[in-house]
Structure 1
Amino acid sequence: MPTDTEADVVARMRSGMAHGVLSFPLTSFHDDGSLDLDGFRAHLETRLATRPGAVFPACGTGEFFSLDEDEYRRVVTAAVEVTAGRVPVVAGTGYGWAQAARFARLAEDAGADALLVLPHYLVAGPQDGLVAQLEQLAARTTLPLIAYQRGQVAFTPASLRRIARIPGVVGLKDGHSDLDRLQRLTLAAPEGFLFFNGAATAEIQARAYAAVGVPAYSSAVHAFAPEIADLFFAAHRRGDDAVMDRLLREFYVPFVELRDRRTGYAVSLVKAAARLRGQPVGPVRAPLTDPSPADLADLESLLAAGLRLASALAPVGAAL
């Protein structure tokens, strides 16, 4: 049986997922690469103003992989302070279970509500090892865990049943977009287990995920253009294919094509777009690189077109 704390977090997450996208704020850096905590606070506050379902600081979009432990502690603490209970705060953790437990303790002390367990580092493991990774971490934290399957982590239905029985494991974020496997996972899961779409630029596949029972999703676009992200989310919730198709055709698909030009653009292009909107997020850290001048110019043009489209479509959505 879930603890009262786990049940409360699941209930808050489920409520949030029904009314807003899951927001993954960017971690702000100064031009010299040092942490800009004031910039992060300002960025997060503007994301919260649009009422996301939950915020996930220091995860993939927030460059968890480039933060040391003290920076991580400061970012998660700031997220909890800025959020002030308005929405759940789900901090990232990862690497091997021993290191993940160190980050988990920092997140606990900072007041986070839950943890997103990012794929472990480097090696591929068998199913027993993937389950054991979560068992070891769950035994070392009081925070509820959401597993993230992506890269070398992909659970079978049998393993999903096992991890769902681990005390503290409450959900799964999917980044593989294997809908056959995902359907079998949702059918294997116990009632109340959380699932959400964590594909890169998740809006592209939002309808396909919803068809297998996973309507909730994370939105990288929300980090720089909540007007576009929230318009798509509203259209998705009411089944407005016409609005979704226009947004996909005229903004999301061109954005994905631009994102796919260079490795790492899934984060650095998002951060560049946020800077174009005046957000104080700064550059990315190595091994990522900021977009080339030509790609940045294309991004600026696409972003302007996307915002014009959102402005034109917003009255249509409001009238329905």
Structure 2
Amino acid sequence: MHSPRKAPTGILGFPVAPFDENGKLDEKALEVNIRYLIEEGLEAIFIACGSGEFQSLSKEEYEIMLDVAIQEAGGKVPVYTGVGGNIQDALSYARLSEDKKADGFLVLPPYLAEGEQEGLYDYLYQVISETSLNAIVYQRNNAILQPSTLEKLLDLEQLVGLKDGVGNMELNICLTNRIGKRLSWLNGMPMAEVTMPAYIPLGFDSYSSAISNYIPHISRQFYDALLQGKNEIVHEIYKDIILPINEIRKQRKGYAVSLIKAGMELSGLPVQNKVRAPFTPVELEHYKQLESILQRAKEKYPKKQKIVRG
């Protein structure tokens, strides 16, 4: 185990699963997606997670995505995988992640079944203890841990963080105050930029940025301004970009994924506005609205040219 026992901090990249005209995984487009995120300075790659349509991937496709991510990352940034679903699949994906030499995994919610706290503890304990990899628990849907349950898992040194996708701030306050710096805290809310100002005071120092797949420089400008207390810049980016995109995202179920692909296509990346059922592609009206927002972003917040030194 060479990775430090700490979750990545900063802006985290969650690549999509690009599909071609025939609905098959497009490896070349995935390579471009991951390379782009790394070149733009994102601090980690989380492959085959929610944005990567984990629920729709075959095991062969999952393995391909891991291979591509680890190859493209080349040790420059840590690579975390998505692990979840039914317990046997979760264990299998955890072992595969270790075999592929990933740095860790994000434990997604169990498949369908609602469990009591003890059942959730057993599920997470089995998955996390299955390998030596770093593990981050994803707090959402049918997998919401109470402080005492999470505390019991702290005996596992592999557990390095909790990603919150629920938005229960009372619970987050209880968790962060009770557990403190033993874990890293990640904001995993949809359009996490919207809620990040509320999370920072609690000790959350990283978040998953959906828009970083197509306008990563905006993610960076926003986060830097937020950390530096430049409230006017934060307000302007909210008004011009983040909140308008968030309004589109809320129009249809599944847009948390498909809107990313639409944004990537509009930004000239080789990713089509194609998703797998039960998700649906972004509708034309919303596609045009997103195009208008991205045009405004390009004009008002131009991307700075990188200085290449000889």
TM-score interval, smaller chain: over 0.9
Q: Which has the higher helix share?
A: 1
For 1:309 and 1:179, the matched residues in 2 are separated by: 33
For 2:297 and 2:113, the matched residues in 1 are separated by: 39
* Equivalent residue runs for 1:8-47 within 5 Å: 8-10=4-6, 13-14=7-8, 17=9, 20-47=10-37
Aligned letter for 1:153? A
For residue 232 of structure 1, the aligned residue among 222, 225, 235 is 222
Q: In the superposition, relative to structure 1, how do residues 243 and 107 fare at CA in structure 2: closer, same or farther (>3 Å)?
A: same
Aligned letter for 2:275? V
For 1:139 and 1:45, the matched residues in 2 are separated by: 31
CA deviation vs aligned residue, 1:222-249 (integer Å, no higher than 9, x gap): 0111121111111122121111111111
Matched, 1:83 2:56: no
- Counterpart position of 1:318: none
Matched, 1:310 2:301: yes
For residue 125 of structure 1, the aligned residue among 115, 118, 123 is 115
CA deviation vs aligned residue, 1:18-42 (integer Å, no higher than 9, x gap): xx41111111111111011111001
For 2:181 and 2:234, the matched residues in 1 are separated by: 30
Matched, 1:259 2:252: no
- Counterpart position of 1:92: 82
Deviation at 1:281, TM superposition (A): 2.2
Percent of aligned positions with the same letter in both sequences?
34
Deviation at 1:95, TM superposition (A): 0.4
- Counterpart position of 1:50: 40
For 2:100 and 2:21, the matched residues in 1 are separated by: 27
Asked if the contact 2:5/2:160 (under 8 Å) is kept, the reply is no
Matched, 1:197 2:187: yes
- Counterpart position of 1:289: 280
For residue 148 of structure 2, the aligned residue among 144, 158, 176 is 158
SS in 2 for 1:151: coil
Which contiguous aligned blocks of 4+ residues in structure 1 show a shift greater than 4 angstroms? Answer: none
5+ residue gaps, structure 1: 316-320
Aligned letter for 2:130? R
5+ residue gaps, structure 2: 306-310
- Counterpart position of 1:139: 129
Deviation at 1:288, TM superposition (A): 0.8
Aligned letter for 1:180? E
RMSD: 1.6
SS in 1 for 2:302: helix
Aligned letter for 2:32? A
- Counterpart position of 2:308: none
Asked if the contact 1:9/1:88 (under 8 Å) is kept, the reply is no
For 2:243 and 2:180, the matched residues in 1 are separated by: 35
- Counterpart position of 1:300: 291
CA deviation vs aligned residue, 1:127-177 (integer Å, no higher than 9, x gap): 111111111112322212100011111111111111222342211000111
Q: Which has the higher strand share?
A: 2
TM-score (norm 2): 0.94
Aligned letter for 1:66? S
Q: How many residues align?
A: 304
Deviation at 1:190, TM superposition (A): 5.3
Deviation at 1:208, TM superposition (A): 0.3
CA deviation vs aligned residue, 1:40-80 (integer Å, no higher than 9, x gap): 00111111101111110110011111111111011011100
For 2:90 and 2:291, the matched residues in 1 are separated by: 37
Deviation at 1:97, TM superposition (A): 2.0
SS in 2 for 1:311: coil
